[in-house]
Structure 1
Amino acid sequence: MRTQVAIIGGGPSGLMLSQLLHLKGIDNIVLERQSREYVLGRIRAGVLEHGFAKLMREAQCGERMDREGEIHDGFYISDNGNMRRVDLHKHSGGSSVVVYGQTELTRDLYEARDKMNGVVIHNAEDVQPHDLKSDQPYVTYRKGDEVVRIDCDYVIGADGFHGVSRKSIPRDVLKEYEKVYPFGWLGVLSRTKPVSPELIYAKHERGFALCSLRSQVLSRYYIQVPLTDTVEDWSDDKFWDELKRRLPADVAERLVTGPSIEKSIAPLRSFVAEPMRYGNLFLAGDAAHIVPPTGARGLNSAASDIYYLYHALVAHYKEGDDTGLDNYSAKALARVWKAQRFSWWMTTMLHTFPDSLPYDQKLSQTELEYLFSSERAQGSLAENYVGLPF
């Protein structure tokens, strides 16, 4: 088999790049280790910065997002019961975010690939890139007892943190930076009316909480929990009781509870791998970087990678210009580290850290007070939240 671009990973990053390249006449194949049903069963965040939404429209996949997505011009931060609003629209110069579930976004991308007869191969086992430093790289995968080879010009590793792509870069070339936080987020999805039309980030002495939503009838809530906790430790009733404790009294009073549709615990981690290019392999998304979900940068950081790769590949194939490919790693990492900084800042300001010094607790509280005392500080938050320029 032969293609121009082999994409490892059939999540939103890989699918979006595949769709964008197809629209420009660039042949590509997507390899995904899991089934489509498994990919669509993963529950992920859904706050899309304005640049991501624009990219979805360019990929001709934004119709349902524009119809069903929630446009948010701000969000709330609650500090031990005192709730204040961050006006994104005002402080970012008129921008906003779109709240649209990642599952639905991925479904839209799959449907677009199907309509264009895009090649997405699921249940591809033992995927392995080869000869990445040569001019003739290729990828192999196993389908049953058969080993299939795909020759290509470039390999895109969009296969997540645990994928094979990053592991294909020699250890003496790859440098990794990591910070593991001493807590996780217990998340519950419920078919209930959201407690607020905009997100509520709650700082509380018992731990952080977040009130989010997927639609007007589907809510997503989170609470900070120790890493030693398991889902089995948390019944629905116990979850709702703890969430109410961390919210302002008037919010807790109007909270509509119900059976959980999905419940999971996600540990929080910051991670960056450098470089994001090795020969003719290019990393994108979680394969190269992870952020805590506090700043809503994970999927959006992946989108900026895809934006840079898409334009670089189009310039290569249509104009013979390799500048974008040559500069991809440096350009992508510059934006990645800004997303890391913002996510780290939001996380440290809003969470309760076990065994933290009283000094650190005072600084965290002072950071929050300063935020709401300064228009420029709110402008910096808004600028990062709605999305820095690509």
Structure 2
Amino acid sequence: VMPQLGVAYTPTPKLSEAAEDAPLKELAEAEPRDVPSAFAEMFAPKPLDVAFASDATAKAAGVAKVTAEKATTTTTATATATTTQAEAVAAAPAYTPSFKSGSESEGKQRTWTVTWTEVMDNGATKVVTRTRGVTADGSVEFEETTWEASDAFSFKQLGAIKLGRTSSGAAWRESWCETLDTDADSGVAGAMKVHREAEKWGSAGAGGREWYETWRQTDHSDGRCIRSAYKMGKLADGEHAEYGHANEWHEKWGEEWPRECGPNGAFKWFDRWANTHGEGARKWGESWEEKHGLYAPDGLAARRMGEAWEADCWGNETYKKTWGESHFDGGVHKYGGDTRGAGWDVTEGSGEHPWYEGRPHHGGWQGALNHSPFLLGVERRGDRLRDATGSGGGGWDAL
């Protein structure tokens, strides 16, 4: 049974490569404020259970146990209880270990590494390397998984996941992934896209300080770019926040640009909120959005609007302020007000429109490719055809 975060324990100096990564689907469907707790449950390292050369008997037994478990879990639905281990492995080409190795570094740490090749759902071939380890004193366990994947057509992917925990209950996880693939949603033959995402999470243990952040960006070969981020942090349970500061805070933002050969424009939004705990607890936040050019509604050149609010610990709103600006040829309409009686609604003549970043600072599609030399360098592999929703071919001509 995996030790719970925040409960002191002494890690065993034993290692195993048989740790399946939990699916990300639950995180994708979780509300933002639920994500950190989901990470705590899903990505804390599994107990390590294969010994080293210092315990040769246990090591041999552990490796045999892991191999047998893999053979059992990878048998096909038609395999019977009498299927031999060799037959089971042969029937499951999606998981093919290519080597295993264990090492001991005197006075430092022990590690166990395994590399295997598997076939992804889209038919691409994926080469994975996983290293698990524990420090010499057993106080820190860690795991690192890296992979690269590609098919015979246009799909390429690089990624990594690092996680660990300490005997005091602290835990952490970080991951990143970048993918080059055909842009099936564009409806244009040969269209491509590069998607990048990264996540970090850390916790001092159950009830302790915690933080989380994630970032995503997709660049399309026609110049479109969409990116967003979310961050949160919180103090330990019962920890008193300094005056003017919060016990828990959240922040989200997003940006979007249109294709390069069409009308110009940009869309940006921002949202953050925080709250304190205990006697006199309160909540507050603010949000705004800017729509320029192509994204501006009703034929406007630009529209900017936002709000700020405060509430008590029961969620009753105690203050709210809203504001907006509608820019059109020849002027700007400014309006707003708050719950304390302030208000304004004026139109000013001006021939100038607000400045905005017309293109992403990294340089659009060509910049995305320039930022991904290792991704582009992944060797094409495999002769499997892509499925109907992601058929390959032709996409590489775009590069």
TM range (shorter): under 0.3
- Larger CA Rg, structure 1 vs 2: 2
Normalising by structure 1, we get a TM-score of 0.23
Between Structure 1 and Structure 2, which shows a larger proportion of helix residues? 1
User: Would you tell me which structure has more strand in proportion to its own residues?
Assistant: 2
